[in-house]
Amino acid sequence: MLNSKFLLTIQKSLKIFLTTHPRSNQKLKSLHGNIKRDILQLMNREGIETDSINLISLDENSSSEDIIKGRYYYKAVDISIRKNNNPIGAIGVKFVMNNYLQNANNYFENMLGETANIRTANIPYFQILILFEKMPYFQNGGRLSKWEYLSEQTHLKKYIKLSEDDIEKYYHTPILTLLIVVTLPKEITEDRTIQDKATFNSQLLQMVDSNRAVLKYSSNFSPSIFHDRVIFNDYKAFLESVIFYFLYRRKFHIIN
């Protein structure tokens, strides 16, 4: 149920992205706000007392992210978990719409750096990365140059290695990473009439509006290629693992 719901959340965030300015944070409000609410609902379902717990994110009721003091610099985090106003955890969320492969190493390096900054301040840090299995690559001016495919041997290799890390030894490694890879409809990815970003966005928006652009989790990669530190295409398992982590770390005293 949660996994299906998360696909709808991604689809809603995609629609907002297609109808607002590329730098608008509106798509983040929908995505981050829903993740926050899902965590709180699972906490309540587990019987965790949440009166002293506060989750902060961009959403319909908040226009700013929480800022946490890391070891080296203050960091605005996508979703923070506070108890009695003290930060006890945070989640970084990245949703890449296009031109991912060009910047894949930069995304990865930034993730390692922000994780190290927060975890060395003794604050657990988690990551969610959402990618399309096949993504358009737009050149300057918006011309569609090519379609890019995710490759296990090239693009996912670094996340496979990350999944093997010992988090007690490597503080640049998130406590847990959720890697989501979804597919766009073939009507879009195989449409040779799409030559630029404006046409791509327009046609994809029409499909989303008519409910023809149904996103699906990619089936081209096996979850078994990842080890303990990375969960692949299982949002429910990720959230449950995050809550389980806090539930049994007594030093945070989340439960009595």
Tell me the residue range of the domain where 201 lies. 2-252
Is the Cβ–Cβ distance between 224 and 217 less than 8 Å? no
Its pTM stands at: 0.92
Is the Cβ–Cβ distance between 140 and 197 less than 8 Å? no
Domains contained in the chain, number: 1
Both tokens of 162, joined, read: 């990350």
10-residue mean pLDDT profile of the chain (256 residues): values are 93 88 80 94 84 88 88 96 93 88 88 97 96 89 88 92 96 97 88 88 85 85 96 97 80 40
- Looking up tokens 């717990």 gives 53
Is the Cβ–Cβ distance between 61 and 54 less than 8 Å? no
**CA–CA distance, 160 with 91 (Å, rounded to integer):** 20
Strand partners, 54: 82
- Looking up tokens 């050149």 gives 139
Q: Which residues of 196-215 are buried (b: 16+ CB within 10 A; e: fewer)?
A: ebeebbebbbebbeeeebeb
So what's the pLDDT on residue 52? 87
So what's the pLDDT on residue 249? 66
So what's the pLDDT on residue 252? 40
